Structure 1
Amino acid sequence: MKQVLQQYRPFLLFLGKFFLSYFVLTAVYRMYLSSFGKNVVDGITSNVSFLTQKLANILGIKIATQSFQDYYKIFYEGEYVARIIEGCNAISVIILFVAFVIAFSGRLKPTLFFAVGGGLFLYIVNVFRIIILAVLLFSFPNQVHLLHGVLFPLLIYGMVFLLWIVWVNKYSVYASNHKK
């Protein structure tokens, strides 16, 4: 048994660090969400809504957002096209990303830099994703499932995957131990 544990030690450490960090970060996020009452939008989702409207307007795209109970309505060209709920703020995706970075962590400074920088990058990509999604939903209202259920999750999770590849190959302990 000891030989098997020793043989699979890197894999078991990866799993342990991944699940521990994922569950801790998720628990912290759930505690944050529980600090808001019913029919109240949390601060992160409010910020995503605010940034969506501001960035779209800077780019000349006529998007407005309006708070409504526990979500924000998105209007494009004055027409209601979608809503921003807590799940649209990308925090669960960022938690998944950070847990993986921690699981393959290297030195503390690069790990923190990559986790924070990658998280911010994903947050910004998510705001652009919402803007583009609003415009496309206005133009193709019958394609909600394809756009919201397939293409845009593919975009955000594709970005996560690419960041993971960069992390593992350039900055993780694995990369530093296996350079040619």
Structure 2
Amino acid sequence: MRALLTKYKLVIRFIFTFVLVYGVLSIAYKLYLDFSEGSKYYPDYLTNLVGKQTETVLSSFGYRTSIVPHYDEPSLMVFVDQKYIARIIEGCNGMSVIILFIAFVVSFRDTFKRTLLFLLAGSVLIYAVNLIRIVLLTIGLRHYPWRSDIMHEVIFPLAIYGMVFLLWMFWVRHFSIQNKTANV
């Protein structure tokens, strides 16, 4: 049994670290959402920020856009040319994807400085790509509403999770301690 544990030490450490980091960050995010109820930023600050930024980007592309709090549910309604196009819910703000990314990178950590810099750069990149995803999805829904299922459930999730996967592969191949010890 001891030989088996020694053989899979890196795998066990990865799983333990991943579950721990993912669990702690998920609980912290849940607490953030719970404490956001009733704040002036509806439904929560991050989702509200994504909504405002979506409105700004769409407006800069020439779309008359307004983001309005939903009257029935904790979300934001996206209107383009006074037509209700989409809604932005808490899950659209990208935080759950960023938490997943952070848990994975920390599980394959490198030096503190390099890990922190990669986490910051990767999180900003994921946030930006997610914002672009929402903007493009809104434009797509405006012009091709009959393609909503494939855009929302296939193309855009594939883009965001594909990018996260590429970031992970880049991290593991070029920076992580596990890769350096495996090549020695």
TM-score, normalising length: structure 1: 0.93
**Matches of 1:168 and 1:80, distance apart in 2:** 43
What is aligned with 1:68?
Answer: 70
What amino acid sits opposite 2:47 in the alignment?
Answer: T
What amino acid sits opposite 1:45 in the alignment?
Answer: T
What is aligned with 1:34?
Answer: 34
What is aligned with 2:105?
Answer: 101
What amino acid sits opposite 1:177 in the alignment?
Answer: T
- Asked if 1:14 is matched to 2:18, the reply is no
What SS class does the counterpart of residue 124 from structure 2 fall into? helix
What SS class does the counterpart of residue 35 from structure 1 fall into? helix
Give the superposition deviation at 1:143: 1.7
Give the superposition deviation at 1:62: 3.5
What SS class does the counterpart of residue 74 from structure 1 fall into? strand
Gaps of 5+ in 1: none
What SS class does the counterpart of residue 36 from structure 2 fall into? coil
Alignment: residue pair count: 180
Give the superposition deviation at 1:123: 0.6
Give the superposition deviation at 1:178: 4.7
* 1:89-118 CA-partner distances (Å, limit 9, x unpaired): 010011001100011011111111111210
Greater displacement, 37-46 / 94-103: 37-46
* 1:28-47 CA-partner distances (Å, limit 9, x unpaired): 00000000227940100001
- Asked if 1:92 is matched to 2:79, the reply is no
What amino acid sits opposite 1:155 in the alignment?
Answer: A
- Asked if 1:49 is matched to 2:47, the reply is no
What amino acid sits opposite 2:68 in the alignment?
Answer: Q
What amino acid sits opposite 2:143 in the alignment?
Answer: S
Gaps of 5+ in 2: none
**Matches of 2:115 and 2:175, distance apart in 1:** 8
Give the superposition deviation at 1:87: 0.6
What amino acid sits opposite 2:117 in the alignment?
Answer: F
Identity of aligned residues (%): 37
* 1:46-81 CA-partner distances (Å, limit 9, x unpaired): 010011111222343433211224211112233111
Match of 1:138 among 132, 139, 142: 142
**Matches of 1:61 and 1:177, distance apart in 2:** 52
Could you tell me whether the CA contact under 8 Å between 2:18 and 2:107 is conserved in 1?
yes
TM-score, normalising length: structure 2: 0.91
What is aligned with 1:5?
Answer: 5
Could you tell me whether the CA contact under 8 Å between 2:33 and 2:44 is conserved in 1?
yes
What amino acid sits opposite 1:137 in the alignment?
Answer: L
What is aligned with 2:174?
Answer: 170
- Asked if 1:127 is matched to 2:131, the reply is yes
What SS class does the counterpart of residue 73 from structure 1 fall into? strand
